[in-house]
Amino acid sequence: MIDVRPYDSLGGGQHGWLDTRHHFSFADYHDARRMHWGDLRVWNDDEIAPQSGFPPHPHANMEIITYVRQGAITHQDSLGNRGRTEAGDVQVMSAGSGIRHAEYNLEPETAKIFQIWIMPRENGGEPSWGAKPFPKSDRTGRFVTLASGDASDDDALRIRADARVSGVTLAAGETAEYQLGAGRKAYLVPATGAVEVNGKHVAARDGAAVQDESLLRIRAIEDAEIVLVDTA
C-alpha cells in the first residue's frame, strides 16, 4: 500500500520568516489521520528566510534529523555545540533527557530543510548532537544511509531509534530499489523532481506513506533527490 500525500494537502503555512508544511500533525495543524507513521512523528518542509531562524527552545525524548536541501543552517545548543550544515548534508540531535537549541539561517539566501522527528527506543539518556557531509555524488543511483539506529550502518550518523534515514539522487529515467523488511513502514519525499514509486506518481515535496510493500522500485521521471525514512 502506498498512500500519496500531495504537497498541497499538507498542513502549515506562511509565517513571514518561515514558510512551513507539515506532513503530520504539528503545532496548530491537527489531522487525526496523520498523527505519525510508525515511529516517525514529524516531517516538516521548512523554508527559512535569510538572517532569521528558530530561537533557543527545548526538546526532550526525540531523535531530530535535519536534512538541508538549499543554503545552510547554523546550530547551537545548551551543550556548547555549534555547527553549520550545508545543502545535501545532515545533522542529528538526540534530545534525550533534555536540551535547548537554536537553528538559524545566517546566509544571504533562503534555507530549505526537511526536519524529521523520530521517537526513540527509550526515553532519557544524555543528549547529543552531530553532523556529517553526504556528497550527492556518492548517492547517485543508489540509496545511502544518512542516519541510523542500526550499529551495522558504520558510515551513518547515529540515532537512538529503530529507524534508518536514507537518500538517493536519480537522473531522469534512472531507477533505484529499496528493500523494506517485514512489518516495516517507509515514508518517502522527493526533495526535488517527480518519481514513480511502484508505479505511483509522487511529485516533488509530496509524501508517500508505504506499508506492506517488500520492495520499492523508484523511477525518476525528472532528475530527483529523494529522502526516505524506514521505521518500525
Res 119: pLDDT: 98
* 136 SS3 class: helix
Interval 136-141 mean pLDDT: 93
Measured over the CA atoms of residue 201, residue 217, residue 166 and residue 96, the dihedral's sign is: positive
- pLDDT tens, position by position, 166-178: 999 999 999 999 9
Q: Cell for 24?
A: 503530520
Please list the residues that pair with 196 across neighbouring strands.
201, 219
* pLDDT average, residue stretch 14-26: 97
DSSP reduced 3-state for 121 = coil
Whether the pTM exceeds 0.95: the reply is yes
pLDDT tens by residue, 93-123: 999 999 999 999 999 999 999 999 999 999 9
Set of cell numbers at residue 169: 539522487
Spatial separation of the C-alpha atoms in residues 86 and 115, rounded to whole Å: 14
For the chain, domains (ranges, CATH) are 2-231 (2.60.120.10)
Residues 27-78: pLDDT tens digits? 999 999 999 999 999 999 999 999 999 999 999 999 999 999 999 999 999 9
202 forms bridges with which residues in the sheet?
195
| Length of the chain measured in residues | 232
Q: Residue 152 burial by CB count (10 A; 0-12/13-18/19+): exposed, middle or buried?
A: exposed
